[in-house]
Structure 1
Amino acid sequence: MFLIILFRVALLKYFIIISPIIILLLVKVCCTRDLKIHIFLSIILIAFLTSNYFITTNANGNQIQADLEKITNDYNNQHIISGPFEAPKFAQFLWQEKPYFIWFQDYQASINNESTIREYNIEFNSKIPLKNKLKISAYFNRFNNKTYENIILVTQLSKEDFPELENYNLDKCYEVLCVYS
C-alpha cells in the first residue's frame, strides 16, 4: 500500500505525514534484527528509485556537447529550435548565454499565430442533479508572442520519431545531431 503512495509523487506528502506514526507503531512490534533488515531493504529501495537522478544514462553526452559547439560556430543564430522535449538537454550541454534553445511546440505556436501551447480542462460530474457544473481549466500560454526569422532546427531524433522533419530540409549532420532549415 505504501509503495503505491511512493510511486505517485502527488501523494508523497501523505506518506511523509503518516510515516512517523508508522515508525512509532513498528517500534513496539519489531526487534533490532528486523529493524536492521528493514533499514537495509529501504536503502536498496531508495537507491533504486533515485538512481536516475544521480547516474546519467546519456552515453553520448560529450558528442552532443561537441556537436552543439560546432553548430554554434558554423551557424551564427541567436535562436535554435530543438526537437520535441530536447531543449533542456541541449541547454545543459551548452553553457552559453546565446544561442537560445526554443521548444519545438513554442515554434509551432508562433508559426500558427497561437498564444496557447497547451490546455487542460477538468469537469466534475455529480451523481446528484445540481444547478451548476464545476469546470477547472488551465492554459499554458507562450511567454511572449515572438516570431523567429532565419532559424535552424537541431535534433537528435530520426524522421520516424519526429515526423514533422518532412517539412524541413537537412543542412548538415554531425556525429549525433542534425541541422535542418
Structure 2
Amino acid sequence: MQEVAVEKALTFIEPGPVVLVTTAEGAKQNVMTISWTMAIDFAQHIVLTAGGWNYSFDALMRTKECCVCIPPASMAKTVVGIGMVSGADTDKFEKFHLHPLPAQQVAAPLLEECIACLECKVVDYVEPYGFVVLQAVRVVINEEVEDRRLLHAVGDGIFFADGEKFNLRQDMLEKLPPRL
C-alpha cells in the first residue's frame, strides 16, 4: 500500500453517474452538468450537489422542480462542455445541439439524447453541503440510445464508463421492494 494525498479520497468514492439537470423558469430553459449524485432510499429520493456556483441553481430553488437526465458515456465531451459554460450567457441547447422534449409532471425539459430522464420535485435543501434532495415523480427511458454505459466522474477530470453487467437480481429478491 502507498499513501496518497487525502484529497484523493473522493476519487475512490463516486456515488452515482454524471447527470444533466434541466430547469425551466418561464421561457428560460437551461441545463447543467452535475457529477455528485446518489440515491438515498427506495422511495425514489435522490440527492445532487448544487449551489449558487451553478447558474441553474436559483431557477431550481424557485421552481422546486427539474429533470435529471442520464447521458450515455458517448456524450462525455458534450457533458464536460455543458459544465464549462454558463447558461447566463449561453443557450446550451443550441450550442451543444441538444433536443429538449416536454415533460409531463414538471416544466423542465427532458433530453432526447439521454438514456433516461427523471422528472423531479425538490423536497429539501441541506445548505451547508449543497445537497438538493429530489423526489422522482416520473421516469422515462429512451431505448433508441444505443450506448447504455453510464459516465462517472472521479473529481479530478478523469471519467469512467460502466462496462460489464452483473445480474444478481435473483440472489437479492427478498430484499428488493415491489416494482423495482
- TM-score, with length taken from structure 2: 0.22
Structure of greater relative contact order (alpha carbons < 8 Å, 6+ residues apart): 2
Which protein is richer in strand relative to its size? 2
Structure number, greater radius of gyration = 1
